[in-house]
Structure 1
Amino acid sequence: MTTTTPDPARVQTWAGRADVAQHSVDLLYGAAPPQLLHNGHPEPADTTFNYWWLAHVVDCRLDAYARTGDDAWLDAARATAANIRERNDGSLFNDYFDDMLWYALALLRLAEATPDDGERAALEADVVALWEHVVTLGWNDVHGPSLSWRKQQPDYKNTPANGPLAILGARLARRTGDGAYLDRALATVAWLEEHLVGPDGFVEDGLGREGGTDVDTHWRFTYNQGLYVGACVELYRATGDAGWLDRAERTALTSVRELATDGVFRREGDLVDDDVPDTAGGDVGLFKGVWYRYAALLLEERAVPAVEDLVRTSTDALWAHGLVPHDGVRPADGASAAAVEGVRQAGVVLRPGDDWTRPAPTQVGYSTLLSAVMALEVRARRA
């Protein structure tokens, strides 16, 4: 049997580090079909079908494809998109409107990366089907015209559902030229600004979760800030109105000021999984990844030094504290040969916790690693 000597030069660039992060997902969580990825490491924790986590895996694979041009990453994105539908009994739809919108956003990016006309048209048709399903079943006038979080709670409205709707609407408007998508996006952001965006741009999570009109002000999450930033940037791109960039910048700066500690996002409201002994992950593990994805859109349009600084300081901390030797980690039972070889050549595996200023706890969900992947892909683009 041949062995590969680790090459430290492979991890001296941020692009190389992003490669390590991508391979680490498959090494730590790879599973035989139809599971595709175990939910946890070292314990698989596969009770839940995490539809929305997988939608973000599609996005992460597309990030790698955009950076490298390697068709293997595009194939991985395709396989993950198909896996969501296969494990969802062949259906595009579930009960959560935010889940379906994450899937639609990923499928739209996949369509844009797909050269085959027939395959691209089929993906675009799925995006439109998801849009129509969400708007038809989820949009109502409770608390003002806006989208519900899930089918079972039509009176609960939040940023996690309305943010992706606005982003998708603006993108579809640009792609198709259909002004109805833009109108919906504008109406959605207007509702957010009336109910959940404060004077300083800080974005609250939702209202009406327990009935009534109470706002969940104790849930101070990075991903809500990222979603509003992304919606504003996409509305700028759709309308040309630079005022949208002003709003995006205000919220991005406020999120850094309010939610970062010493240059790192360490807490998510009162739901930090690292506060539970020996665990990290869950849905909260993905939250800051959403912030990085959409903050990066703002940086593509406008220099915002405080945001650039946060990307640098936080990914520096991630790389300093999230690494383990490749021969000190038990690979998942479905780890791909490419992932095993990739981390062997690098000599390290990225296995962070939710707090990037300290080593990971014993059990880590792959949602947490996806946030790290997204952050490192942004750093690689900005390096």
Structure 2
Amino acid sequence: MIRLLPLLLIVLALPPVPAAAATTVCATSCDTLDPSRAQRETFPLPDKNINGRKVQLHVSEPDGMAWASIDLGTTGDAVWLDRSWDGGQTWEGLLGKAAIPSSWTGTRTLMYNVYDPVGHRRGVIRACGDANGVACTDWLYPNVCDEACDGSSQQNGDMQPVAPTTIYGRTVRLHTDANGMAWATIENNGPGDEVWLDRSWNEGASWPDGSSLGRTTSGRTAMFATRDPKAKLYGGVVRACGREASHANGSCTAWARPSPTRAGAAADALVYSYDAYQAWWPSSWWNSAATLTALIDYARQTGNHDYDWVVGRTFDVNKAVFPAGVKSSDPIEGDFISRAIDDSAWWGLAWIAAYDYTHDSRYLTEATTIANYVNDFWDTGTCGGGVWWNRERTYKNAVTSGLYLRLTAALHVDAPGDTVWGQRAVTAGNWYLNSGLINGNNQVNDGLTADCRNNGQTVWTYNQGLAIGGFDELYRATGDRRWLDAATRLGNAVGTGVLTESCEPNCDDNQKQFKGILVRYLAEVGYQPYLQTQANSLWANDRDPLNHLGLRWAGGAPNAVDWRTQASALEALTATPNPAGG
């Protein structure tokens, strides 16, 4: 073993080496985008001079991409990018390597993603050149910045999201603050005892660029950010670790996400599941529309603009045509339209919400296009009116009727001088009240029988919510108090205590999101004590240290947890009086 020591020291002293060949990264665009398509061009790092040649790193922050150039050169001088996913320890080298052609004095690479929000990786990147000698710029953005940057000492509160860990009589604690910053402390420590943070962007599966952050023997680390909006990484997790000086082994707390506010923490965990390249939450079409609406409601209620890019990105990508099996089991025919009339209408409501939030007219135009399509399936020949559930005209049900009512009334509210949508909304409201969908307990059953009677099927919470929201929007559109009275009657029928869906704990992927629709629209009518009960219960009983929120707001096992349950719970947290502050 002694004879091997010199060799070991030589190995440890070797410099970092390039990693394996790069795989293509797709964020909002894929690697090798032409720089002519960059949304912006900045030069965040000093140029690198190589024997009189100028090597520059160019960055487009809106795209999250970079490219390199070399100028004042001669034929054969080369330029490329290096990209690292572990803070510069190893890297993907020679990305986009380009050489100066004959008679030119410069050239550039194509654009490469700096970050990988889809794969939950944070990269650093640099420009390199070869002009009778190789040199590189510094790495771009080695520190993470949110409300504050890595290394900050400005503390804004002290929360301890998980239990401490102990090791040889020492206590190691994880701390977070209201800015989402994190630090670690070790108590009862002696000389040489160490404490540090680990930070992971993929929920603790790995932490190549976040190992041993702030490692110190002082008893407290510096503070480190847990979100990187520039990289579209909102779901960082951290843990505190420590080691007693005379032992090699250490001990760490559980991983945790900070929760500066309830709704903000829920939104961060929700956006973690958003696929920035495909621009939806895989893999459910109508659920993605409802989830986008939940995120827009959160942004509107709190004034948080971190996720505004998600709205535009979802619109731009998904307005296209998709064959069956890509976004839905049905083909998507453009303008968010498919044979499923209710699915189309969910997207209509999402773009109404986007218009109300941004005042961008393209969203109102899209909502109108969808509403015109849905209106084609209003049919007075069966049951005196109502909208068919699907293009085959097999069923008139509550979800499609509620969506149509809300959509038509909202278009009237958003279109000054409108006479068409307002009349359609009044017609839809009168039909709904007299259709039989509402039973004797003021609860909405699933739909109508072939002979136009209440079918007595399940009272789903989202049907109750859509009816409440539809009648409330019709009240805003007309000022007629009877519509508000109808919404209130339905709201009063919801019940008391913690809200449950009849399918719990075995709800399918559609049903997981139903409760959020109800609380969204209840909040418009009032019911704040009831809504606060929901928020308090799910936060106390239905949340893990990573701020995942499940199906069962009162807690219990088994309990399904995914982005659908997360979106539903976000609606409950947003519906409280002060979602931005608690």
Give the TM-score of the pair, scaled to structure 1: 0.76
Q: Deviations over 1:255-275 (max 9, x none)?
A: 22xxx5xx111233xx33x13
Corresponding residue for 1:81? 315
User: What's the secondary structure of 2:307's corresponding residue?
Assistant: helix
Q: CA deviation at 1:350?
A: 2.5
CA distance in 1, matches of 2:333, 2:341: 18
CA distance in 1, matches of 2:515, 2:431: 23
Structure 2 counterparts to residues 272-291 of structure 1, below 5 A: 272=504, 274-275=505-506, 281-291=508-518
Contact 1:281/1:364 (8 A) holds in 2: no
| Residue 350, structure 1, aligned to residue 519, structure 2 | no
Q: Deviations over 1:332-369 (max 9, x none)?
A: xxxxxxxxxxxxxxxxx1331x2211246475342221
Q: Deviations over 1:198-229 (max 9, x none)?
A: 34422222013xx4445332301111211111
CA distance in 1, matches of 2:391, 2:482: 34
| Residue 122, structure 1, aligned to residue 378, structure 2 | no
Corresponding residue for 1:26? 271
Corresponding residue for 1:323? 543
Structure 2 counterparts to residues 1-383 of structure 1, below 5 A: 6-7=175-176, 9=178, 16-27=261-272, 29-31=273-275, 33-34=277-278, 36-38=280-282, 46=283, 50-86=284-320, 87=327, 88=332, 90-114=334-358, 120-152=360-392, 154-176=393-415, 177-194=417-434, 195-208=436-449, 211-213=450-452, 215-256=454-495, 260=496, 263-268=497-502, 271-272=503-504, 274-275=505-506, 281-299=508-526, 307-326=527-546, 349-352=547-550, 354-359=551-556, 361=558, 363-381=560-578
What amino acid does structure 1 have at the position aligned with 2:531? V
Q: Going by fraction, where is strand more abundant, 1 or 2? A: 2
Corresponding residue for 2:226? none
How large is the RMSD of aligned CA atoms in angstroms? 2.7
Q: What are structure 1's unaligned runs of at least 5 residues?
A: 39-45, 300-306, 327-348
Q: Deviations over 1:267-296 (max 9, x none)?
A: 33xx33x13xxxx55111111111111111
Q: CA deviation at 1:161?
A: 0.5
Does the C-alpha gap of structure 1 residues 15 and 174 become closer, same or farther in structure 2, counting only changes over 3 Å? farther
CA distance in 2, matches of 1:380, 1:155: 42
Does the C-alpha gap of structure 1 residues 144 and 83 become closer, same or farther in structure 2, counting only changes over 3 Å? same
Q: CA deviation at 1:83?
A: 4.2
Contact 2:406/2:473 (8 A) holds in 1: yes
User: What's the secondary structure of 1:166's corresponding residue?
Assistant: helix
CA distance in 2, matches of 1:89, 1:188: 26
Q: CA deviation at 1:323?
A: 1.7
What amino acid does structure 2 have at the position aligned with 1:97? I
CA distance in 2, matches of 1:57, 1:313: 22
CA distance in 2, matches of 1:220, 1:68: 32
Q: Deviations over 1:122-152 (max 9, x none)?
A: 2222111111111114534211111011112
Does the C-alpha gap of structure 1 residues 381 and 162 become closer, same or farther in structure 2, counting only changes over 3 Å? farther
Q: CA deviation at 1:55?
A: 0.9
Contact 2:462/2:517 (8 A) holds in 1: yes
Q: CA deviation at 1:99?
A: 1.4
CA distance in 1, matches of 2:295, 2:452: 39
Count of matched residue pairs: 322
CA distance in 2, matches of 1:223, 1:92: 21
Q: What are structure 2's unaligned runs of at least 5 residues?
A: 1-86, 88-142, 144-149, 152-173, 181-258, 321-326
Contact 1:55/1:81 (8 A) holds in 2: no
Query: Greater relative contact order (Cα 8 A, min sep 6): structure 1 or 2?
Result: 1
Q: CA deviation at 1:157?
A: 0.8
CA distance in 1, matches of 2:315, 2:578: 24
Contact 2:405/2:429 (8 A) holds in 1: yes
Bigger radius of gyration among the two:
2
Q: CA deviation at 1:93?
A: 0.6
Q: Percent identity?
A: 25
Contact 2:548/2:561 (8 A) holds in 1: no
CA distance in 1, matches of 2:578, 2:484: 20
Q: Deviations over 1:19-65 (max 9, x none)?
A: 111111133x2446226434xxxxxxx4xxx2211111221221232
CA distance in 2, matches of 1:370, 1:57: 6
CA distance in 1, matches of 2:319, 2:570: 23
Contact 2:501/2:515 (8 A) holds in 1: no
Does the C-alpha gap of structure 1 residues 59 and 287 become closer, same or farther in structure 2, counting only changes over 3 Å? same
CA distance in 1, matches of 2:463, 2:301: 26
User: What's the secondary structure of 2:439's corresponding residue?
Assistant: coil
Corresponding residue for 2:22? none
CA distance in 2, matches of 1:238, 1:101: 19
Does the C-alpha gap of structure 1 residues 112 and 15 become closer, same or farther in structure 2, counting only changes over 3 Å? farther
Does the C-alpha gap of structure 1 residues 31 and 74 become closer, same or farther in structure 2, counting only changes over 3 Å? closer
Q: CA deviation at 1:196?
A: 1.1
What amino acid does structure 2 have at the position aligned with 1:93? I
